[in-house]
């Protein structure tokens, strides 16, 4: 596997939405989004999926990813989108989305152990080193489980800007857009529609 190419399109350097810095699973669901020229999928292909996992510290650059593993990553993303929507909407998710998450968790469970540092004892979970790709996906599934069952779950929201489809954690109840760019775009569209409706 070749080394990571650090030259990348500008959309790879977009600012993360609130919550992506704390939850890799939130960053995962946001790998499919819309820009002015159309849909973007940051996991489109095995190399792109490998790059994303490496950039998020989930897989060493030297560890290859095959087509089946990248397909599982995309399947996990779609399952998480469904589970996030169910959680935000207060509905029961389809069984296949739950099955995908649970199968990913079970594929490479971490081994719990007790670590002892200068600060005292703490639980430390060691990822499965026998299958690094499965371990990376399992970490993402565990991260999503923590998000869906934790205190932050009530802040999980899909951006209200038309066509955006990114998820974020609301910092306050009134927030409806993942970024100020989306909010400005919605306000500009409203202003344009109001001007158009008022013109003779």
Q: What is the pLDDT of residues 104-161, one digit of tens each?
A: 999 988 888 999 999 999 998 887 878 999 999 999 999 999 999 999 999 999 998 8
2 in any annotated domain: no
Q: What is the pLDDT of residue 192?
A: 53
Q: Is residue 45 part of a domain?
A: yes
DSSP string computed for 137-191: HHHHHHHHHHHHHSGGGGGEEE--STTT--EEE-SSTT---SSHHHHHHHHHHHH
Residue 76 forms part of a structural domain: yes
The structural domain count of the chain equals 1
Q: What is the mean pLDDT of residues 155-184?
A: 82
Whether the predicted model's global pTM rises above the 0.85 cut = no
Output the domain CATH number for residue 152: 1.10.3300.10
CB 129 within 8 A of CB 138: no
pLDDT in tens, 36-66: 777 889 999 999 999 999 999 999 999 999 9
């Amino acid at each position: 596997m070749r080394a990571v190419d650090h030259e990348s399109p500008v959309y790879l350097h977009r600012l993360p939405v609130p919550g992506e810095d704390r939850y890799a699973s939130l960053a995962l669901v946001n790998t499919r989004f819309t820009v002015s020229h159309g849909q973007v999928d940051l996991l489109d292909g095995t190399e792109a999926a490998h790059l994303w996992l490496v950039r998020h510290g989930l897989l060493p650059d030297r560890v290859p990813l095959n087509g089946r593993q990248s397909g599982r990553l995309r399947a996990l993303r779609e399952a998480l989108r469904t589970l996030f929507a169910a959680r935000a909407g207060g509905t029961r998710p389809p069984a296949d989305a739950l099955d995908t998450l649970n199968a990913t968790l079970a594929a490479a469970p971490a081994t719990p152990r007790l670590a002892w540092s200068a600060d005292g004892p703490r639980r430390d979970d060691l990822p499965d080193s026998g299958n690094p790709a499965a371990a990376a996906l399992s970490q993402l599934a565990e991260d999503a489980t923590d998000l869906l069952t934790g205190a932050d779950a009530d802040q999980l929201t899909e951006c209200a800007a038309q066509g955006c489809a990114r998820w974020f954690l609301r910092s306050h109840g009134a927030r409806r857009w993942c970024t100020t760019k989306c909010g400005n775009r919605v306000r500009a569209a409203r202003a344009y529609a109001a001007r158009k409706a008022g013109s003779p």
